[in-house]
Structure 1
């Protein structure tokens, strides 16, 4: 046996093992949540109010939080989640819980409690919301790319049978987060690049009925810590 070739194989094996461990660490609240099962329930879950107690009267033309469509396949569903997650308006008459609820409505039951924690990390806390609404702050996202990350394919090949649910997939979304508001009487705006991964379970279309199957949201990666 060629000693040099043997050393190369050992290095590749070590690198692959380390890569698998790094993947689990990288995903954090994503794949890790799928592998370990549901987390301890959060102390509270968002509930829809109309308007929320944290809201304030504002722009009469500001839209209410829109329901997330579960149809269209994984890529379309990831786009819908991104839009719901990043689009909010502190002057809409609704609060963070209202925007969180439309996402919770498409949660998979196995991860619903843990998902609440994921979503809260993306939305301003009540105190921050109260400050932002003084400046009529609103936010939205423009999407640059939506794709199945290579790291997910690696995770699928390394996972033991039954470790990842049937129909589960991961879609990474990259784009730009925009915010604008009013400082004194001057309009101001800011933007920055963002990236995250959406973990979901999608059912295939029913034969003979056309259309596409429905998707349910499992978890969200930490913001700016997506699978690549």
Structure 2
């Protein structure tokens, strides 16, 4: 029974993997998406006597900046950094991202964000183990295919200041069964489509499917 209950915890932490919707066109004709990649399986993290410090335990506003890279990094953390032990619910973690969605893409971005987060039922299961998640960002780069998209797009089809940035990082999850900490980690990649008009703060256009970034 002890082994069975422990196995349920691991399944709860790992089984709520983030599955994103298929990349939408965002009205950008000629936007090319990279070939599908096989998601790397969850791997048990090395045993540690103490957890690393999780970046945040409450929803934090996305950084207001005109820098596409800094904005994409902040969006990435807002997508992946959450903590079921706090009073904040799913809607609270999602709202900080909806708040920085492009005005014409708010509904689409909201749908993308919901697919990054666990569903309501899974959130409750994860909460029973005090599950928290965070992302270590390894790189943020402009995919080569973005230049092709810009070349193929007709005049006016891509908003002024639009950019695509592919984020690669390691997603961590941790939860507690009795007094024992259980952890998993795996590499993730995705593309954030943003608009950074001049000196104004960037906004989110869309998010790619997890592990199917623009390349």
**TM-score when normalising by structure 1:** 0.71
Whether the aligned pair in 2 keeps the contact of 1:197 and 1:220 (CA below 8 Å) is yes
1:15-34 alignment runs, 5 A limit: 28-30=22-24, 32-34=25-27
Structure with higher RCO (Cα < 8 A, 6+ apart): 2
1:214 maps onto 2:206 in alignment: no
Counterpart of 2:36 in structure 1 is: none
Counterpart of 2:195 in structure 1 is: 201
CA apart distance, 1:184: 3.0
SS in 2 for 1:196: strand
CA distance in 2, matches of 1:158, 1:144: 30
Corresponding position of 1:227: 214
In the alignment, what sits opposite 1:186? 180
Pairwise CA RMSD: 1.6
Partner residue, 2:129: 135
Instruction: Extract structure 1 runs of 4+ deviating beyond 2 A.
Output: 27-30, 33-36
Q: Which residue of 2 aligns with 1:108?
A: 102
**Aligned pair 1:155/2:149, yes or no?**
yes
Matched pairs, number = 169
CA distance in 2, matches of 1:150, 1:218: 19
Alignment correspondent of 1:89: 83
- C-alpha contact (below 8 Å) 2:90/2:120 kept by paired residues: yes
Per-residue CA shift, 1:85-140, capped at 9, x if unaligned?
10000001111110000001111111000111100110011000000000000000
Which deviations, in whole Å up to 9, do the C-alpha atoms of 1:57-112 show, x marking residues without a partner?
xxxxx732011112150000000000111000000111111000000111111100
Shift of 1:183: 2.0
Distance 2:114 2:57 in 1: 21
Higher-Rg structure is 1
Q: Which runs of 5+ in 1 are unaligned?
A: 1-26, 37-61, 206-212
Compute the TM-score of the two structures, normalised by the length of structure 2. 0.75
User: For 1:86 and 1:216, how far apart are their aligned partners in 2?
Assistant: 18
CA, structure 1 residues 167+143, in 2 after alignment: closer, same or farther (shift >3 Å)? same
Runs of at least 5 residues in structure 2 that lack an aligned partner in the other structure: 1-20, 30-55
